[in-house]
Amino acid sequence: MLKIIKFFALVQTLCFALLINSFTPVDGEATTQPILVDGVVSSEALVGKISYFLDETRELDINRISSVDFEKQFQSVDSEFIDFGFTKSFIWLKFTLKNQLVSDDRFMLFFRENFFPNFNVYQRSPSGEISIITEQMENSGFDVRPVAFPFLVAPVDLEPGETTDVYVRYSSGGSSEVRFTIETEESFSEFSGTTFFKNSIFYGMLALLFMVSAAVFVYSRRKLFFAYAASTLVSLLLIMHLDGTAFQFVWPSFPQFNGNASLYVGMLSLFFGAMFAREFLQTKRYHPFVDKVLIGIMIFSAGSIAASWFLDTQLMKYFLIILAPFTYLWFLISGLVAARKRFKEVRFYVIAWAGVFISSVGLMAREILGIDLSEELQWDSMRVVMVSDAAFMGLGLLDRFNQLRIASQKNLKSSLKQAKQNLELTQRLNDLEKKFENVSELAQSKDADLMNTVHDLRQPLHVLRMKVHDLMQGNAADDNDFDSVKQTFGYLEGLVSERLEGTASDVIIRDESEDDGQGNALSTDAVLSGIHEMFENDAKEKGLELNYQASSAELDFDSLALMRLASNLVSNAIKYTEEGQVSFGLTNHGHGASFKVCDTGSGMTQEQFNAALQRNVRLEEGSKQAQGNGYGLAIVAEIADAHGLILRLNEKNEKGSEIEVLFPA
C-alpha cells in the first residue's frame, strides 16, 4: 500500500510540473489594432490583435472589465493558440472589429471548441452601449446557444464601416486552449455542411460495427463480443463528445455532465479496452502477468470515475491525457507478446492499437507539451484512428474465428488419423492377448522355453496395455508415441512367433504395418531406449530413478535376444532395489562391448549370484522384497550360453550390485 501511495504522489508531482511548464506566459502591454473584416479572417491573422486579462477571483463582470480602469491591465496575445494551461481563472479576451464591406453583413466568431462551462460574448458600440451576444453559464443547456452548432459560435452584426469592441469571457473544466476565426455566413455554412457530412460517415461506421457486434453478443452470449461492442460504443461517444454533437443531440440538458464527459468516456475507453484485450488475447490462459496488469487498468479506470465525484476533475483530465498513451502502449505490448507465438490470431489487434497509441501521443504532445500541431489534423486523425481501430478489431475477431476454424479442421483430421491408429492397435492387441493366453496354457506343462516366454511377456504386455489405454483416451503427444507402441508390438509378436512357430533363427523386430520390403531391424540404441521406456513407470512407482546411459556403441546381435536379456536384468534390478536408482547402458571396450546394469539395492555375493542363475531359485532375502518365480537371471544365463556371451557379477565396495554381459568382438 505504501508503494502505491508513493507512486501516486510521484505521478501527482509530475502532473503539476507539466502543468506549470505547459503554461507559456503571454507578456506585453496591450497595443492591439482593429481587425479589418472584409471576409474570412484566419486565426493566424488575429495574432497580435487580441488582448487578455485573467480574472483569478472569477467575480468581475462586463461593466467592470470594460471600464477605463482596466484598459491598461489587458495584455497582448502573441500566439495563434490562446492557452493559459489548466487554470480555474475566468479568461477575458478583448478585440476590435471593423467591417470593411460595403454592405450589411453578419460575421461569425467561430471558436474551435465544443464546450466551455462559462462562455459569454459581449459587444460594445462606439457609444459605449453593451449588448449580450451569447451568455452560457454552467447550468445552461444547448438550447441557449444563438447558433445551433456543435462548436461555439457567436454572431456579430456590423454596419458597413462600423467599429465595435468585443469581449469574450470563458472558463474551462480542462485545458484553456482555444483559437478562433472570423467567418462569413457563406463560409460558415459551407464548413458546417462539410462537417456534418464528414461526421455522418464516422458515426455511421462506428454505429454499424456496434449494432453488429451487439447482435452477435445477444446471440452468442460471449464476453468477447460484449467487450468489443462496449468498446465500439465508447469510441462512438468519445468522437461525438469531441465533435460537440453529443451535447447537441445525446445529453443537451446536462451541461454539468458534458463538462466532465471527456473524463468519464476516456476512462471507460481504457476500461473496455483492457477488457477486450483480456478476452481477445486470452491473457488469463497464456500470459498471467499481462492479465494482472490489464485487470489493474480496469480497476483503476473504474475507481477514477468514482473518484471524480470527490477530486478535482480538471486535474484528473490532465492526468488522463498523460495516462492514456501509456495505457494504449500496454495494450500494444500485450498484443506483441501474444504475437510471438500467435501472430496470425492477433495481427489486426496489434495494428489497431499501434494507431491508437500514435494518435494519443500526438494529443499529449499538443495539450501537455505545447507542440504546435494543427487542431483539425489532430481531431481528424483521432476520428480516423478510432474508426480504423474498431474496424481492425472487427477484422481481428473474424480472423481469429477463421484461424480457429482452420485449427478445428486440422484437429478433426488428426482425430481421424488417431482413431484409425487406435483401431489398428486394438486389433493387434486382441490378437496378442489371445496368443498370450495360448502361451500361458502351454506353460502349465512346465516346459522351460515356454516358461521363459511367459516370463518375458508379462512385464512388456502390462506396459503395452497401459499405453494402448492412454492412446485410446486421446493422450498421445505425437506420432512418436505410436512408433514406440509399435516397436513394443514387434518385440512381443516376434517373441510369441519364435516360441509358437519355431522361427527364432530369422526373427527381427519390425513394424509389419510399415514394412518397406527390406526389413526394419532396430538399432541397439532403439532397443535399449525401448527398455528404458518400458520400465520407467515401474521405477517411478517405487520412487526409483531409472537411468539409461546412451552411447554410440552398436552390436551385431539379434535384437530380440538383446531385448530379452536387457529387460530381464533391468526388471530384476528394479524388483530388488528399495531406494536409489538403477542404471544401465552399453559401452565399447578393446575386445568387444559391455552391457552393465547397476543398482543401489541390498547387493549379492558371488555365491548368491551363482545360485540365482539356476531356474526356480530365489534368494531368501530377495523373496521378501519382490514377487517372482526365479526365472529372470536363469533366462539371461541361457541367452548368454546360447550366443557365447560372458555373464558375471562385478563386486562393488558401495551398496548395490553390478551385473555385466560381455559381447565378444
* pLDDT of res. 30: 53
Residue 629 pLDDT > 60, yes or no?
no
- Mean pLDDT for 475-492 is 62
8-state DSSP, 522? P
Q: What are phi and psi of 298, to 5 degrees?
A: -65, -45
> Are 167 and 92 a contacting pair, CB within 8 Å?
yes
Answer with the residue of higher pLDDT: 275 or 453: 275
- Identify the weakest region by mean pLDDT among 66-80, 169-183, 242-256, 366-380: 366-380
Question: Does the pLDDT value for residue 414 go beyond 80?
Answer: no
Band (232; pLDDT cuts 50, 70, 90): confident
What does the domain layout of the chain look like in residue ranges?
Answer: 22-188, 196-373, 522-665
Q: Which residue has the higher pLDDT, 545 or 220?
A: 545
Whether 509 has a pLDDT exceeding 90, the answer reads no
Which residue would you say has higher pLDDT here, 93 or 173? Answer: 93
Calculate what percentage of the chain has a pLDDT beyond 90: 26
Confidence of residue 33 (pLDDT cuts 50, 70, 90): confident
Please report which confidence band the pLDDT of residue 329 belongs to, taking 50, 70 and 90 as the band edges: very high
Task: Indicate the range of 90-94, 308-312, 334-338, 345-349 predicted with least confidence.
Answer: 345-349
pLDDT at 453: 64
236-240: long-range contacts at Cβ-Cβ below 8 A with a sequence spacing of 24 or more? Answer: 236/203, 236/206, 236/207, 236/210, 237/261, 237/265, 238/262, 238/265, 238/266, 238/269, 238/386, 239/202, 239/203, 239/206, 239/382, 239/383, 239/386, 240/203
Confidence tier at 442 by pLDDT (50, 70, 90):
low
> How high is the pLDDT of residue 106?
84
Q: Is a pLDDT exceeding 60 seen at residue 159?
A: yes
Per-residue pLDDT averaged across 651-662, rounded?
Answer: 82
Architecture per CATH, 22-188: Sandwich (2.60)
- According to the model, what pLDDT value does residue 324 have? 87
pTM (2 d.p.): 0.56
Give the mean model confidence (pLDDT) for residues 392-415.
63
Span 524-539, pLDDT tens digits: 888 888 888 888 888 8
CATH topology of domain 522-665: Heat Shock Protein 90 (3.30.565)
Task: Determine which of 101-105, 116-120, 345-349 has the lowest per-residue pLDDT on average.
Answer: 101-105
Total count of residues recorded for the chain: 665
Q: Does the pLDDT of residue 616 top 70, yes or no?
A: no
Tell me which residue has cell 461555439.
152
C-alpha cell at 15: 502532473
In angstroms, the CA 316 to CA 301 distance is 11
Tell me what the mean pLDDT of segment 361-383 comes to: 59
Q: What is the mean pLDDT of the chain?
A: 79
Report residue 299: phi and psi, to 5°.
-65, -45
Give dist(CA 166, CA 42) in Å, integer: 17
What is the C-alpha separation between 405 and 14, in angstroms, rounded?
49
Question: What average pLDDT does the segment 435-451 reach?
Answer: 64
What confidence score (pLDDT) does residue 209 get? Answer: 78
Per-residue pLDDT, 132: 94
Q: Burial code of 389-400, b = ≥16 C-beta within 10 A, e = fewer?
A: bbbbbbebbebb
pLDDT (mean) for 224-241 = 86
Phi then psi dihedrals of residue 457, to 5 deg: -80, -30
Contact 6, 147 (CB under 8 A): no
Residue 431 DSSP label: H
What is the per-residue pLDDT for 270?
A: 92
- The span from the CA of 563 to the CA of 648, in Å, is 18
| Alpha carbon distance 661, 597 (integer Å) | 9
Residue type, 240: M
For residue 48, the SS3 value is coil
CB 158 within 8 A of CB 121: no
Which cell is 171 given? 472558463
d(Cα 544, Cα 329) in Å, to the nearest integer?
A: 51
The two beta strands, 545-549 and 118-124, are unpaired
Please tell me the least confidently modeled range out of 96-110, 491-505, 517-531: 491-505
Q: In 193-326, which ranges are E strands? A: none
Which whole number is the average pLDDT over 630-652? 85
Contact 75, 29 (CB under 8 A): yes
Q: What is the pLDDT of residue 246?
A: 92
Q: How far is it, in rounded angstroms, from Cα 657 to Cα 603?
A: 5
CA torsion through residues 62, 65, 68, 74, sign: negative
pLDDT tens digits for range 247-303: 999 999 999 999 899 899 989 989 998 998 998 888 999 999 999 999 999 999 999
